[in-house]
Amino acid sequence: MSFLKKIWTDWKLSYNHRQKEKSFVNGITHPPQVLTPLVPITGDAVHFKHTGHAGDVIYSIPAMKALAKGRKIHLYFELHQPNRDFTQQMKHPNGNVMLNEKSVAMFAPLMQQQPGMQHFAAWNGEPIHYDLTAFRSFPFDYRMYSITRWYFLTFAVTADLGKPWLQVVPDKNFADKIVLARSSRYHTPGISYSFLSQYPNLVFVGVPDEYEVMKQEIPNLVYQPVNNFAELASVIAGSKLFIGNQSFPFSLAEALKVKRILEVYHQCPNVVPEGSDAYDFCYQPQFEKIVSDILNR
């Protein structure tokens, strides 16, 4: 590197650092009310609102439980909020919104099975104690760290993320199955799933378009449709092994604490597997070794 180029590079790094510091300081000048309920809690239930995404909802459950402090939970979805996180090239099942009426229908059977979740519905102006999407009002770089812990940073709570925070009855029909999910977003360069063809009983969960793409790499892959997220969670809970990228199915696997492998997206590593039976990768040889070690024990 030439002397002048080094001067330019050092200045640019310093400038970028100063700009990030300035942006952060400006962002915390007028923070929203998050450390106390928006309205007083007078009954035995705490009311929460979330605008999505679906995976963010799952990752917010530990914070909800911590804030509820043993009270019942009422969770409301605020629908049709614009999708602010994906580029135009990133396809999402909900299109340009984060949650819609179908989201409520898909979530409802899963939420109804959760201990402490007393009520779940679309939001129609009901009084709210905590707006879970308030984390977006803070100037953190949400491409990094841990989605679950974003809520801890916002609401000053904590929880043991090594323990399950979601409960379903495992579908025993998948006890010998390797369940895969890979959204069209967050693909790590250089990663191929084709080597999985050597293993039997491969099942894909997700949208049909994603399955068709994956089947080109894994011809023996079988598609498993589901009617709702409770069914999806049961399939994952009952599986021999779950492999997925940073998408909704992995949030279920993480919450259930099944044996799981995460494809980490190098530009947005904001999902962190925690606890036992949790593996992650962003390089092909390591991916293949992890799978081999698990399946050939």
The CATH number for 172-295, chosen from 3.30.2270.10, 3.40.50.2000, 3.40.50.80, 2.70.70.10, is 3.40.50.2000
What's the pLDDT tens digit per position in 56-102?
999 999 999 999 999 999 999 999 998 776 555 555 565 678 899 99
Structure tokens at 74: 């009422």
Residue 49 sits at φ, ψ, to 5 deg, of -125, 140
CA dist 80 and 102 (Å) reads 11
Alpha-carbon distances of 19 from 15, 24, 137, 290, rounded to whole Å: 6, 9, 18, 40
Instruction: Name which of 15-24, 255-264, 270-279 the model is least confident about.
Output: 15-24
Alpha-carbon distances of 33 from 52, 133, 163, rounded to whole Å: 19, 12, 29
The full set of domain ranges for the chain reads 45-155, 172-295
Query: What's the confidence (pLDDT) of residue 8?
Result: 80
- Type and span of the H or E element at 122: strand 117-122
